Structure 1
Amino acid sequence: MTPAARIQAAIEVLDLVIEAARSNGAPADRLISEWFRARRWAGSGDRRAVRELAYRAIRACGEIPETGRAAMLRVADSDPQLAALFDGSRHAPAPIDGAEPMAEAGVAPAWLMQRLADSGVEHPEALLDRAPLDIRVNTLKSGSLDLPEGGEKTVAAHGWRYPPETKIEQSPAYLEGMIEVQDAGSQLTCEVVAARPGETVIDLCAGAGGKTLALAAAMENVGRLIACDADRARLQRLPPRAERAGATGIETLLLDANREMQALEPFVGAADAVLVDAPCSGAGTWRRNPEARWRLTDKQLERYVAIQSRLLDIAATLVKRGGRLVFVTCSLLDAEGADQAEGFLTRHPDWRAELPVLPAGTPRGAGLRLSPSRDGTDGFFVARFVRL
């Protein structure tokens, strides 16, 4: 592809991303992969360049653009060299008409910017920086650890950070299960659980098991660790990951959404710790999924908040006296963080908050907030409650 043809390709990809954002369709990374799958003649350099152009445009536009061209014009407005490639030549985008619409610059849609401001989020633009690649050293694996070059230690106990373009999944350490890809903030939230060998620990919203594997390592494969989720496809990804990681003590439990207690009844009052890594807006992970801010609506946020409250109430029934409940969301919005924690304590006077002690984070209500601007992690809220 010529440089101009790459711009036109990015515009076509952006049209797909914008339509999917409006209709709650496939995520951008999948759409880009599918677009290139139908164009196998494109080289690796073309794929990389088009992807970077598309994500550059996604990050540049606060409100959802009308078209992919409008999004790319926003980028071209501050990049004369890129603008010059809108020349109408073969496979190139048509010349720029000064009167045609251009997407609005910004961090997020106006309603969401107000929510961030009301939640005391400073430097929200950091949410759109390109995320580094963080890994967690898997302490379940013994032997000599040969980490890839170019990494630096993070504040997480077993964390290392690499440039985002690092091909970590091709390294021997990854292939042998000695490291896992996991954001440093996510690792820190697992440390708040303080899972110990011999305990009964429940990961109530385990998904594909990223945090479950960190808990298994903390427990040294001793005790009972139950990974639960209502999404069968995601939960089925955990057993092969656990085998690769040498995590032998994980049980999986498929839940029926809205009827979770049918499967969880045997665990009422039995858990030393329960982790609720609740479904949320993801308003702390835009570094990795920048188009997610175009998808979120106020009504969707309300639904997430209701789900989180219900899951916290379920989790509370599973914890024994003196046990711990850890609530995590990858969001910087108070509705999914400090307000949610306050609501839990109001509904459950037989619990108290215990402020997590971490080498990063800022107190927010009854918990801690981790943010890209202050801590260099994805955005998280984490709170720990103890049953009296």
Structure 2
Amino acid sequence: MTPAARVQTAIELLDAVILAARSKGAPADRILGDWFKQNRFAGSKDRRAIRELVYAAIRACGPVPDTGRAAMLRLAEVDPSILPLFDGSQYGPAPIGESEQPAKGGVAPDWLADRLAKSGVEGREAEALLDRAPLDIRVNALKAARATLVLPVEAEPTATPHGLRLPTGTQVEQWPEFRDGKIEVQDTGSQLACLALAAQPGETVIDLCAGGGGKTLALAGAMDGLGRLVATDTDRSRLSRLKPRAERAGADMIETRLLDPKREMEALADCAGQADAVLVDAPCSGTGTWRRNPEARWRLDEAELARLRDLQNHVLDIAAQLVKPGGRIVYITCSLLDEEGAERFDAFLGRHPALTAQTLALPLGRSRGQGWRLSPFHDGTDGFFIACAG
């Protein structure tokens, strides 16, 4: 493909991404993946270039663009080398018309950028939310040790006990160390969130919103595979991914439970008041993960944010029913919005006066309200709010 044809293809894919964002359809990575499968004539260099163009254009736009062409014109403002490719050549984009306007830049749609600013995230810190994310892995303590593990490429130790940072784009899934369960891909921020729970061997620990189980596996390692570890979720598809991952990691002490929304305690009745520790990795807007999913900021609206706040309140109240006296609850959101973080935690403590905020001592981050914040700009991690009650 010519460079101009790559630009035109990226424009057409951006049209699909924009439509999907407005209609809550497929994510960008799936749209691109499907196109690549259906258009085998695009070689590996073409696919790489097209992917980079699409995601660079997404990052360059703040509000949802009207069209993929407007998004690409916005990218051309950032990268002028794209402008000559609007040349009208065969398979390339038509020349730029005198009245054509590029999409608006910025960090996010205006209403959302304002919410971030009110949460203390603006300027360079806000811009860092759209940087490219590094590749972090966690050495599985059940099978290996960071100090002695030999990998195919050089890795840099992170601030967590088992963390390593690799060059972006490293294909770790093809390594025998990955297939053997010695390593897992996990952002340093996620590893620190698990560290905050301080899970110990022999304890009863509940991962209340386990999803695919990345944090559950980290907790299993912290517990040396000893004790009771219950992973729960309301999403059958996501939870089903945990079993093969746990088998690969040698974490055979993990128990999974599928929960019925709004009737969660029916499936957890035997755990009521029994947990030494409960991890609440609550569903959230994901503003702290835009480096990985930049089009997510186009999918969020105020109604969805209100729904998520209600859901966060709900799962926190479930955790309060599960923890035993003297136990601890760690609340996590991969969001930098105070209304999903510090404000939700304050409201939770107000509803449960028997619980009080506990001090966290993590090697990265800074205090935010009665909890702790990690951010891409300050810490090089995904954005998180983490708080502990006990």
Measured against the shorter chain, the TM-score band is over 0.9
CA apart distance, 1:154: 0.8
Aligned residue number for residue 286 of structure 1: 290
- Partner residue of 1:321? 325
Residue 26 of structure 2 is aligned to residue 22 of structure 1 = no
1:42 paired residue number: 42
Displacement over 6 Å in runs of 4+ = none
Is structure 2 residue 161 aligned with structure 1 residue 157?
A: yes
Distance 2:150 2:85 in 1: 45
- Partner residue in 1 for 2:380: 376
Q: Retained in 2: the 8 A contact 1:355–1:368?
A: no
Q: How many residues align?
A: 386
**2:262 and 2:213 mapped to 1: Cα distance?**
21
Secondary structure of 1:287's counterpart equals coil
Instruction: Give runs of aligned pairs for residues 53-64 of structure 1, distance below 5 A.
Output: 53-64=53-64
Residue matched to 2:300:
296
Q: Deviations over 1:171-205 (max 9, x none)?
A: 22112111100000000000001000000000000
- 1:335 match: secondary structure: coil
8 Å contact from structure 2 (residues 276, 323) kept in 1: yes
Q: Secondary structure at the match of 1:326?
A: strand
Query: What's the CA shift for 1:142?
Result: 4.0
Q: Which amino acid aligns with 1:350?
A: A
Relative to structure 1, the CA distance from residue 95 to residue 335 in structure 2 (aligned partners, 3 Å threshold; closer, same or farther) is same
Per-residue deviation, 1:100: 1.0
Tell me what 1:310 maps to: 314
Q: Shift of the alpha carbon at 1:145? A: 2.1
Task: Render the CA deviation track for 1:53-92: whole Å, top value 9, x for unaligned.
Answer: 0000000000100000000000112333211011011110
Which deviates more, 356-365 or 77-86?
77-86
**What is the distance in 2 between the residues matched to 1:65 and 1:55?**
13
Amino acid at match of 1:78: V
> Does 1:180 pair with 2:184?
yes
Structure 2 gap ranges (5+): none
Residue 335 of structure 2 corresponds to 331
1:147 corresponds to 2:151: yes
**1:76 paired residue number:** 76
Matching of residue 99 in structure 1 with residue 103 in structure 2: no
1:126 to 118, 128, 148: 128
Distance in 1 between residues matched to 2:231 and 2:384, nearest whole Å: 21
Distance 1:160 1:346 in 2: 39
* Counterpart residue number, 1:257: 261
Match of residue 210, structure 2, among 203, 206, 213: 206
Q: Deviations over 1:185-230 (max 9, x none)?
A: 0000000010000000000000000000000000111000000000
Measure the CA separation in 1 of the matches of 2:115 and 2:144: 46
- 1:357 aligns to what? 361
Out of 120, 137, 140, the position equivalent to 1:135 is: 137
Structure 1, 296-305 or 169-178: larger mean CA deviation = 169-178
Q: Per-residue deviation at 1:163? A: 2.1
Partner letter of residue 79 of structure 1? D
Residue 169 of structure 1 is aligned with which of 170, 173, 181? Answer: 173
Residue identity over aligned pairs, in percent, reads 64
Deviations 1:70-128 (A, max 9, x none): 00000112333211011011110001113113100111000001100100114200000
SS at match of 2:356: strand
- Contact 2:60 2:78 (8 Å CA) reproduced: no
Measure the CA separation in 2 of the matches of 1:150 and 1:381.
31
| Residue pair 1:145, 1:173 contacting (<8 A) in 2 also | no
Other-structure match for 2:248? 244
Question: 2:268 aligns to what SS in structure 1?
Answer: helix
